[in-house]
Amino acid sequence: MPSNALALWRQYRFERRMFWRNRSAAFFNFLLPLIFLALFGAIVHGHQNELDVIVPGIAGMSVMSTTFTALAYNLTFMREQGILKRIRGTPLPSGVYLGGLALNAVTNTAIQIAIVVVAGRVFFNLGWPPQPLTLVVFVIAGVAAFALLGAALSHAIPSFESAPAVVNGVFVPVILISGVFFDVKHVPGFLRDIAQALPLEPLINGLTGGLVAGHGSIGHHLTALAVIGFWALVGVVLAVRGFSWEAHRA
Partner 1 sequence: MMAAMASTEAAIEVRELRKSYGELEAVRGIEFSVSRGEIYGLLGPNGAGKTSTVEILEGYRERTSGHVSVLGFDPTDRPRELRARIGIVLQSSGIYNYATVAEAIAHFASFYPHPRDVDEVIGLTGLVEKRGDRARNLSGGQRRRLDLALALIGDPELIFLDEPTTGFDPAARHAAWQTIRSLRDLGKTVLLTTHYLDEAQELADRVAIIKGGRILAEGSPSELGVGAGSRYRVAYTDRDGAVSVVETDDPTSLLHELTGEALAQGERLRSLSVTRPSLEDVYLELTADA
The neighbour count for residue 130, using CB atoms within 10 Å, is 16
Q: Which is nearer to partner 1, 17 or 47 (CB)?
A: 17
Q: How far is the CB of 239 from partner 1 (least distance, A)?
A: 20
Are the CB atoms for 37 and 58 separated by under 8 Å?
A: yes
Q: How far is the CB of 82 from partner 1 (least distance, A)?
A: 3
* Cα radius of gyration rounded to whole Å, the chain: 18
Q: Which is nearer to partner 1, 6 or 43 (CB)?
A: 6
Q: How far is the CB of 81 from partner 1 (least distance, A)?
A: 3
Q: Which is nearer to partner 1, 89 or 219 (CB)?
A: 89
| C-alpha–C-alpha distance, residues 19 and 212, integer Å | 32
Q: Which is nearer to partner 1, 2 or 169 (CB)?
A: 2
- Amino acid letter for position 248: H
Q: How far is the CB of 14 from partner 1 (least distance, A)?
A: 5
| C-alpha–C-alpha distance, residues 119 and 37, integer Å | 8
The neighbour count for residue 214, using CB atoms within 10 Å, is 8
Which residues here bind partner 1, judged by CB under 8 A?
Answer: 1-2, 7, 10, 14, 17-18, 21-22, 78, 80-83, 85-86, 88-93, 245-246
